[in-house]
Amino acid sequence: MRRVFKLKAVLLFAVTLFVTSMAFAQKKPASPHDSTTAVVAGSTIKIKYGSPYVKGRKILGGLVPYDKVWRAGADSATSITTSKAIKVEGKTLPAGRYAFFVIPSEKGTWTVIFDKNPKQWGAYTYKESNDQLRVTVKGKTIPKQESLTYKIDKGGFSLKWDTFEVPVSVK
pLDDT (tens digit, 9 = 90+) per residue, 38-83? 999 999 999 999 999 999 999 999 999 999 999 999 999 999 999 9
pLDDT greater than 90 at residue 14 = no
> Does the CA dihedral 75-32-55-45 come out positive or negative?
positive
Instruction: Name the average pLDDT for the chain.
Output: 89
Q: How far apart are CA 64 and CA 143, in angstroms?
A: 18
pTM of the model: 0.82
Q: Span 137-145, mean pLDDT?
A: 98
- Residue 24 predicted with pLDDT over 90: no
Condensed to tens digits (0 to 9), the pLDDT of residues 78-100 reads 999 999 999 999 999 999 999 99
The more confidently predicted of residues 12 and 129 is 129
**Residue ranges with strand state E in 16-85:** 33-40, 43-50, 78-82
Check residue 122 and give its pLDDT.
86
